[in-house]
Chains A and B, each alone.
Chain A
Amino acid sequence: MADKPTELPEDRTGKRPRDLPPANADQPKSNLPGARSLKPHWTERLATFDRRWVFLAMAIAIVVPFFAPLNLPVKASPRVRALYYSVESLHEGDVVFLSMDFDPASTPELAPFFRAVALHLKRKGVKMVLASTWYAAPPLVERYIREMVDRPLIGPDDTDYKGPPDRAYKQNVDYVWLGFREGKEAVIAAMGNDLRATFDHRAADGTPLADIPMMEGIHQLKDFDLIITISAGFPGTKEYVQQVQSRYDLPIVAACTAVSTTDLTPYYDAGQLLGLVGGMGAVAEYESLIGKPGLGTQGADVLNFGHLVVILAIVFGNFIYFAGRRQRRKRGQ
């Protein structure tokens, strides 16, 4: 039987029993003449400090702005302005298709956009057809419809809002909820070919699409005046561009999570996306354009502090890294 490596006994709390000598008892004391200091250098201590302090800093950065907002001015970027003007150019009675491809994880970034674009569409009297290719989306979308489409978004308390008012939309009159279909890119390709067949010729509530007046003349994705994809990943905006945009020359604008923005900018620059809102900061910009600050604007403050914490963590980490490297070179290690 092989010898076990000699291990120091530990009690149940992971501490050494008191009657045992310290682990470095046989080593020279650091205060003896000629002995090398055993105390770790400050860079080593900082490099291995408890990461829960970083978590605490991030938690503070997220919570504090909700109580003490900076309310820094936001200025819309060209990508966000392009999306705004794409929606603004629609007329009363036009029909847009909204692809709701997200789940609860991406709600903080994408729900504020849906709220803002729903207000923008409703105040212009534009009709909506909503569908999803994400299995986790339907209960969320149905809640958004109840809260933001079935009811007016502008109430009597919104005294700071100067834009036109919106109204409550009626199901199968002003909007249609088609529901979810499994099949990912195949669903997107099928909608481009025949939207009605893809959803079995029925809305999510079972109403035949042929009986819904606003669906008259709408058979494929190309029959919509604008397509708005609100996507958190796969399948989403990228698949719409690849499967149907180029093929049918569709006018598509997109809202995505911040992390997807760099994925989608090539499509925006190529003109395949007419506008792009990427992340909560961009939603704040869109809210400033429609004149109704909301959750995006509130969230932008959190982003300010959150991003600062990450930047400070990078700078601090590198400062310690270079100071430590200098110290190691001095020691000749």
Chain B
Amino acid sequence: MLGMAVGLFAAAEFYIPAHEVRIIQEHLLQWGLILAAAAFVLGGVNILQVNYPKIRRREEDWGFKLVLLGGAAVMGLVGIRWHTIGEDPTNGTIAVVEHATESGALIRLDSTRADTLAKIDGKRPIDLGAPGHVTEVSVAPGHHTVKVYMNVAGYGDLAEEVDVPAGGVAAVHGDLALHWGPSGRVYTWIYDYIFAPCNATMFALLAFFIASAAFRAFRARNTESALLLGAAILVMLGAVPIGRAISDFFPQLSDWIVAVPNNAGRRAIIMGAALGAIATSLRVILGLERSHLGSD
């Protein structure tokens, strides 16, 4: 009954332009997002339930399952913002010493980490060099903004405004805190150096498999496959500059194939799928289809 009410409301809401209906719809969508997020927790439990017994019984490929669980545990741990637990970490200090230089004013910068950059009044970044190395920048006496930050993601930054009097020195000491969580250093490192290369490699292999499949499987065995093959060659030639370099005919023909026969077929599929989705949704809303609730 609840499913039917919500389903009917979601469909009817499209046709009722009242503000109150929009508010209810907004709440429903928020609940939907919360449920989607909660599904991640269920997914985690499910991965454990499925894989742990197989590892314990040393079933086939148990090593891969161990890597899967290990990877999930590591990502889960580094995804927590540990640095926000307890006291807020500091990112360094700024101290102003008066009458420390004979003329003008100085900003003295150093950092406890390598790859640290600094910006004074939003100007070009200054590389602070090795840890402990001191960089002195002459500035006009007065108000300045100083920002000390890392060249890589996952650390805090020190952004302060400082008044440097004539003859004064502002000592800016960067001790940038390592951050955890999805924007933290460890998570970003794993993403950049493990996940991204693996993900990109899997996709890049497609180029080789497509070339191999083109040689072995793409045969003009009958009229339909010959048409498909001819269209593929023409669209490929039209999609790259070399096709136009050979003749303007290729991009024109390619555009025509995409815009006319392709669109006609696509629209038929889209409309057919939409009608199917409407029929299935109606069956679910009216309670005729209950397989998602675990019944036949």
CB under 8 Å from chain B, chain A span 9-48 = 47
Closest chain B residue to A282 by CB distance? Answer: B239
Minimum Cβ distance to chain A for residue B116 (Å)? 15
B 189-222 to A, binary, CB cutoff 8 A, 1 in contact else 0: 0011001110110110001101110111011100
A-chain residues with CB within 8 Å of residue B270 when the two chains form the complex: 266
Neighbouring A residues of B145 by C-beta, 8 Å: none
Q: Name the CB-closest residue of B to A262.
A: B262
Q: Does A289 contact B (CB under 8 A)?
A: no
Tell me whether B266 and A190 are in contact (CB under 8 A). no
B242-A304 in contact (CB<8A): yes
Please tell me if the beta carbons of A284 and B263 are within 8 angstroms of each other in the complex: no
User: Which listed segment binds A: B25-33, B99-107, B134-142, B169-177?
Assistant: B25-33
A139 touches B188 (CB 8 A): yes
Q: Is A91 interfacial (CB 8 A cutoff)? A: no
- Nearest residue (CB) in B for A301 is B241
In the complex, chain A residues whose CB is within 8 Å of the CB of B14: 247
Do residues A307 and B153 form an inter-chain contact, with CB atoms below 8 A? no
Given the complex, which residues of B lie within 8 Å of A75, measured CB to CB?
A: 244, 251
Residue of A108, A183, A194, A317 touching B215 (CB-CB under 8 A): A317
List the A side residues contacting B267 at CB < 8 Å. 266
Q: A140-B196, A263-B266 are in contact. Are A307 and B236 (CB under 8 A)?
A: yes
Return chain A residues, CB-CB under 8 Å to B212.
51, 54-55, 313
What is the distance, in angstroms, from A191's C-beta to the closest C-beta of chain B?
9
Contacts of A266 in B (CB 8 A): 263, 266-267, 270
Q: Give Cα A214–Cα B14 distance, bound, in whole angstroms.
A: 30
- The answer on a CB contact under 8 Å between B33 and A190 is yes
B240 touches A303 (CB 8 A): yes
Q: When the two chains form their complex, are residues A70 and B36 in contact, meaning their CB atoms are under 8 A apart?
A: no
A269 and B211 within 8 A (CB): no
> A182, B211: Cβ atoms under 8 Å?
no
Q: Does B127 interact with chain A (Cβ within 8 Å)? A: no
Residue of B nearest to A46 (CB): B215
A132 to chain B, nearest CB (A): 12
B202 CB contacts on chain A under 8 angstroms: 105
Q: Does A271 contact B (CB under 8 A)?
A: no
Q: Is the CB of A311 within 8 A of B237?
A: yes
Give the A-B pair count, Cβ closer than 8 A.
Answer: 171
Task: Give A58-85 as 1s and 0s: 1 = Cβ < 8 Å from B's Cβ atoms.
Answer: 1100100000001011110110000000
Q: Are B207 and A193 in contact (CB under 8 A)?
A: no
- A138 to B39: give the CA distance in the assembly, Å: 20
- Assess whether A106 is interfacial by the CB under 8 Å rule: yes
Asked, given contacts A140-B196, A186-B36, A198-B33, whether A309 binds B245 with beta carbons under 8 Å apart, the answer is no
Which of the four size classes fits the interface of chain A?
35 or more
How extensive is the interface on chain B, given as a class?
35 or more
A170 to B200, CA, bound (A): 30
Q: A58 with B263: in contact, given A75-B244, A104-B195 (CB under 8 Å)?
A: no
Are A189 and B29 touching (Cβ within 8 A)?
Answer: yes
> In the assembled complex, which residues on chain B have CB atoms less than 8 Å from the CB atom of A301?
241
- Judged by a CB distance under 8 angstroms, whether B180 is at the interface is no
Question: Which residues of A are found within 8 Å of B40, using beta-carbon distances?
Answer: 182
- Contact yes or no, B208 A183, CB < 8 A: no
Give complex CA distance A193, B30 in Å: 11
Which single residue of chain A is at the shortest CB-CB distance from B263? A266
Give the Cβ gap from B255 to chain A, nearest Cβ, in Å.
7
Docked CA distance A168–B199 (Å): 31
A268-305 vs B, CB cutoff 8 Å, 1 = contact: the mask equals 01000000000101001000000000000000110110
Contact B219–A183 (Cβ < 8 Å): no
B11, CB-defined interface residue at 8 Å: no
Residues from chain A with a CB closer than 8 A to the CB of B182 are 138-139
Cross-chain contact A72 with B241 (CB below 8 angstroms): yes
Contact A77/B266 with A51-B212, A193-B22, A304-B242 known, Cβ cut-off 8 Å: no
Shortest Cβ distance from B52 into chain A, in angstroms?
A: 24
Q: How far, in angstroms, from A51 to B199 measured CA to CA in the complex?
A: 24
Which of B36, B239, B255 lies in contact with A258, CB distance below 8 A? B239
Query: A294 CB to closest chain B CB, in angstroms?
Result: 15
- Tell me, rounded to whole Å, the shortest Cβ–Cβ distance linking B229 to chain A: 6
Q: A58 near B214 (CB under 8 angstroms)? A: no
Q: How far is the CA of A136 from the CA of B195 in the complex (A)?
A: 9
Indicate if A261 sits at the interface (CB-CB under 8 A).
yes
Given contacts A54-B212, A55-B208, A313-B214, contact A265 B262 (CB under 8 A): yes
User: A308 to B22, alpha carbons, bound, how many Å?
Assistant: 53
Q: Does A123 contact B (CB under 8 A)?
A: no
Min Cβ gap B243→A in Å is 8
Q: Are B26 and A194 within 8 A (Cβ)?
A: yes
Say yes or no: is A224 at the interface (Cβ < 8 Å to chain B): no
30 residue pairs A–B, Cβ–Cβ below 8 Å = A51-B215, A54-B215, A73-B244, A104-B196, A138-B183, A139-B188, A139-B192, A142-B153, A142-B188, A183-B37, A197-B30, A262-B258, A262-B262, A265-B258, A266-B263, A266-B270, A303-B240, A307-B239, A310-B210, A310-B236, A311-B233, A311-B236, A313-B212, A313-B215, A313-B218, A314-B218, A314-B229, A314-B233, A317-B219, A318-B218
Q: A74-B244, A103-B199, A190-B33 are in contact. List 6 more A-B contacts (CB 8 A).
A: A77-B255, A108-B200, A142-B188, A182-B40, A197-B26, A315-B233
In the A-B complex, the 10 residue pairs with the smallest Cβ-Cβ separation, listed nearest first, are A105-B203, A104-B196, A183-B36, A72-B241, A313-B215, A190-B29, A313-B214, A304-B242, A186-B32, A317-B215
Tell me the B residues contacting A by CB distance below 8 Å: 14, 22, 25-26, 29-30, 32-33, 36-37, 39-40, 153, 182-183, 187-188, 191-192, 195-197, 199-200, 202-203, 207-208, 210-212, 214-216, 218-220, 229, 232-233, 236-237, 239-242, 244-245, 251, 255, 258-259, 262-263, 266-267, 270
